[in-house]
Structure 1
């Protein structure tokens, strides 16, 4: 694997983690939105010329189909005759853990990207001599 391919793989990891973090942020922002279903993402291997390149991309966004909690608040405009409405299935603890994982993975890819770039520059210097 050459330097350019390594940089491509690392850049795809950073892009995918930043997109993942965007979805986590949307989940956190909508944690109190009635009827909101948590967005979940997965990663897929990218295929180039019929073979896996080592790069990743975000797969399709899926909505968490777990039951929505019933919230009792008769004064809420969405409440039924019984005084209940569907809450959100976002668990802030899970979202914060996902955000931390995405952040750390992004940072690890960034450090490797920087190291690879430095090694490439050093190799170019050596070859010029």
Structure 2
């Protein structure tokens, strides 16, 4: 492993975790998005992460939830059909919040690894100057 591999690997983790945080934020913001029954429900995004050759991680893709969603009886909703139903997304807020905490902790860990590596490399340079 080269001298700067730690920074490269931690940097790839920062990017992946940032994308994960963005997708979770998008899902959480749309958890109550109602659509008419003749439209697809909001489709939650799920990040697919994969290991990179040579170390690190990258976004392998983004999967989306079922466009059918779930039918909710809400006859007072402006988008309700003649039977009083609207289409809601199949998004579990508790799961999204749990994943949000995991993504935040992963991001924080990657930041700390980056800081530690920078300090180590800086100390090594100072020793070399002495």
TM range (shorter): 0.7 to 0.9
TM-score (norm 1): 0.88
Check conservation: 1:14, 1:110, Cα contact below 8 A.
Answer: yes
Distance, in Å, in 2 between the alignment partners of 1:67 and 1:36 is 9
Distance, in Å, in 2 between the alignment partners of 1:38 and 1:71 is 17
CA drift at 1:79: 2.2
Q: How many residues align?
A: 124
For structure 2, list consecutive stretches of 5 or more residues without a partner in the other structure: 35-40
Check conservation: 1:75, 1:83, Cα contact below 8 A.
Answer: yes
CA drift at 1:12: 0.7
- 4+ long deviations beyond 4 Å: none
Distance, in Å, in 1 between the alignment partners of 2:9 and 2:105 is 17
For structure 1, list consecutive stretches of 5 or more residues without a partner in the other structure: 47-51
In the other structure, the counterpart of 1:49 is none
Distance, in Å, in 1 between the alignment partners of 2:127 and 2:78 is 71
Name the SS for the 2:83 alignment partner. coil
In the other structure, the counterpart of 1:44 is 50
Residue 39 of structure 2 is aligned to residue 33 of structure 1: no
